Amino acid sequence: MVLWQSDLRVSWRSQWLSLLLHGVLAAIVLLLPWPLSYTPLWLLLLSLVVFDCVRSQRRINACQGEIKLMMDSRLRWQGVEWDIAGTPWMLKAGMLLRLRREDDGRRHHLWLAADSMDEQEWRDLRRIVLQHSAQRQH
């Protein structure tokens, strides 16, 4: 039985935060007074920041599509059944779920941003997850 479902969109807030953090790191690398002999290290660090920024944007864009929260702390996302492992970490801006796939035990962390779904869907998800967390503790 499905307790909650949504069609996740790309989170603009997550994209902007990722760009901001990577931009600050790139600015630090660029503005530090590097000796001329450290140019290869400087270029390597700057390249790592840029590649990580691209990787981060791709991962944020991959977190979209239909998602369903089922009974018994199960989640169906991108056509795969996952078990929610442990208590989700919640903020006003989103929720971090630790997932484990039943068939092979593979683990995954999924950040569900509040702005990736409708406001009512976000409220319902928070309520359901908080209720299930309270029931687990008793």
pLDDT over 80 (residue 134): no
Distance from the Cα of residue 93 to its chain's centroid: 11
Residue 86 in tokens: 């442990």
The amino acid sitting at 113 is A
For residue 137, name the pLDDT band (cuts at 50, 70, 90): low
Map out the domains of the chain as residue ranges. Answer: 2-10+65-137, 12-61
For residue 105, name the pLDDT band (cuts at 50, 70, 90): confident
How many helices, marked H, and strands, marked E, lie in the chain? 3, 7
Give the pTM: 0.84
